[in-house]
Structure 1
Amino acid sequence: MEFKGYKIEQENNKVIVEKVMDFDPVHVFDCGQCFRWIRQPDGSYTGVAYGRAVNVKYRDGVLELSNADIEDFKDIWFDYFDLGRDYSYIKEKVMKDEIMKEAVEFGSGIRLLKQNIWETLISFIISANNRIPRIMKTVNEISRFYGREVEMNGEKYYAFPSVEELSRAALEELERTGAGFRCKYIMNAAKMVYEGQISLEDVCSMDTVEARNHLMKFQGVGPKVADCTLLYSGAKYDVFPTDVWVKRVMEELYFKREASFGQIQEFARDYFGEYAGFAQQYLFYYARENKIGAK
């Protein structure tokens, strides 16, 4: 059957999607935007999102989702993988110079996932001053302690806990997940959202500055974590998450001198405009894999 420009079919417990372009699982899952996807020996990726465990394979324009059906694809995975967006158009918009052309070519299969905003917020609170393997382990442990068990091919996986589930966490137990000093931030966020002090759903209807400030009401959330939350949940695409390392990358590639965080944000806003988030992700992946900006 046809669905929004794709040919999709069900094969047992598997959905096969044809005509998928601009998609590389390595680029998508290893570019730093998500923490629940694990590469398998055959090159596929297994992960948990929106309470589902699924295995993802891709080859020659064909996307294969195991442990899924057509309704799952329509209701969850089409949006999650941002398959309604023409990334060839996005690439044209951000390839404004030779640096971006090289970055886009290097990470040509990146798509920005539309992740659950609650999970994204907590994941990037955990990411502050942290390394990706440790972030992944902590997010997985939080899911194992507090989330709902889901199954795929006889294996147990765990959904990321809801606001209500995580609001019941005790500090001593939460500390066992490896979140360290961030535990108090996680508990604070769960309490504020559960009690209705802050609504995460409201950010989509706000302008970007207002949405960023809204998220920064949470303890442990500065501009970088707020922008990551907005970008990787699909709430806003005109943000340019900037930490000390991204700052060094931009100084090396564009400014050729020291620049302030404010100057980098202003440059990204003026230069890339509404596509700043896409540009940042291509640059981030390109710079990280090529050790640009490394001390």
Structure 2
Amino acid sequence: MKITEKENKIVIDDVKDFEITHIFDCGQCFRWNREEDGSYTGVVGKNVINVKQEGSRVIFDNVSMKDYEMYVKNYFDMDTDYGLIKTMINTDEIMDKAICFGSGIRILNQDEWETMISFMISANNRIPMIKKVIENLSKMFGEYIQEYRGRDYYAFPSAEKLAGAGVDKIMECRAGFRSPRIKEAAARFLKEKDTVYSLKGKSYQEGLDYLKSYCGIGDKVANCILLFSMKQFDTFPVDVWVRRVMQTLYVDKDTSDKDIRSFAESKFGKLSGYAQQYLFYYARELNIGK
């Protein structure tokens, strides 16, 4: 890769295994929105970033070289060899097709706190509504960052802000029945912040058991949090789309989510999370099993 800086932009040429549509539309994040020019704008921490792609060239706007080195490179997992990962999980014709279809997927390194609350909101919810609730919470409780392309952007609210908020105010953000759970999770997080941020270094089972002790975090949500913010790549979250593709292409129609996950984790091992993302995107975009 060749990296250059110009006019508050970072331009990277010859980027491999990177496709913005695959990355932002594979179900792992909710704060990125497509612009009319095909680029995506989102919030990472207290920073607004726009990402545009022209073939193998990726342009990060509103980003300096210092920003790139401090958080952008890690957030987009730029040092991971996805070519090697794809080779290792490409064990059959089904995975070959899924990998080819979503070849540019990368698993983002997202903040644990934000990911916890975001996926609590995702339970039994549609992506447009999830994004709206998160946007509302950020606007009401988050720190103002800046105006970009005519739109105001806010950081994801801190645990302190949500713990101190009234449930009625959280409900105004259209969080619904999740509102008291969000407030409760925020209050607990303040006491156990170090524990949460240490889960990267714990075993998968330790992380799963801990997260499921929160009200509002079940098996699927816990596995998503582990995969998308805690580098637990041996997990295999099962949602409606993953269930459909697995029951259509790999296992019997009546196979339970637990058994689907066990099958996948046995098949793909320590790289199960990567396999899940390729299969999820493949199933949802092509309506497999619907």
Shorter chain as denominator, the TM-score bin is over 0.9
| Residue equivalent to 1:136 | 131
Q: 1:28 aligns with which of 23, 26, 42?
A: 23
Distance 1:198 1:214 in 2: 13
Give the superposition deviation at 1:54: 0.9
Between 1:85-94 and 1:154-163, the stretch displaced more is 154-163
Point out where structure 2 has 5 or more consecutive residues left out of the alignment: none
The aligned runs of 1:1-295 (5 Å cut-off) are: 6-151=1-146, 152=148, 155-196=151-192, 199-294=195-290
Percent identity, aligned pairs only, is 44
Shift of the 197–60 alpha-carbon distance from structure 1 to 2, 3 Å rule, reads closer
Give the superposition deviation at 1:155: 3.7
Distance 2:163 2:151 in 1: 27
Distance 2:253 2:117 in 1: 34
Tell me if structure 2 keeps the 8 A contact 1:37–1:46.
yes
Aligned letter for 2:191? E
Shift of the 181–198 alpha-carbon distance from structure 1 to 2, 3 Å rule, reads farther
Distance 2:127 2:10 in 1: 30
Give the superposition deviation at 1:165: 2.1
Aligned letter for 1:146? F
Point out where structure 1 has 5 or more consecutive residues left out of the alignment: 1-5
Tell me if structure 2 keeps the 8 A contact 1:246–1:293.
no
Tell me if structure 2 keeps the 8 A contact 1:14–1:65.
yes
Q: Deviations over 1:82-135 (max 9, x none)?
A: 111111111111111111111011111111100111111101000000000000
Tell me if structure 1 keeps the 8 A contact 2:241–2:283.
no
Secondary structure, counterpart of 1:196 in structure 2: helix
Aligned letter for 2:10? V
Tell me if structure 1 keeps the 8 A contact 2:170–2:179.
yes
Output the TM-score relative to the length of structure 1: 0.94
Give the superposition deviation at 1:234: 4.2
Output the TM-score relative to the length of structure 2: 0.96
How many correspondences in the alignment? 289
Aligned letter for 1:278? Y
Q: Deviations over 1:13-66 (max 9, x none)?
A: 111122211111111001111000010010000000111001101122211111
Distance 2:219 2:166 in 1: 28
Tell me if structure 2 keeps the 8 A contact 1:13–1:66.
yes
Tell me if structure 1 keeps the 8 A contact 2:244–2:283.
no
Tell me if structure 2 keeps the 8 A contact 1:15–1:64.
yes
Distance 1:272 1:178 in 2: 38
Distance 1:115 1:221 in 2: 18
| Residue equivalent to 1:3 | none
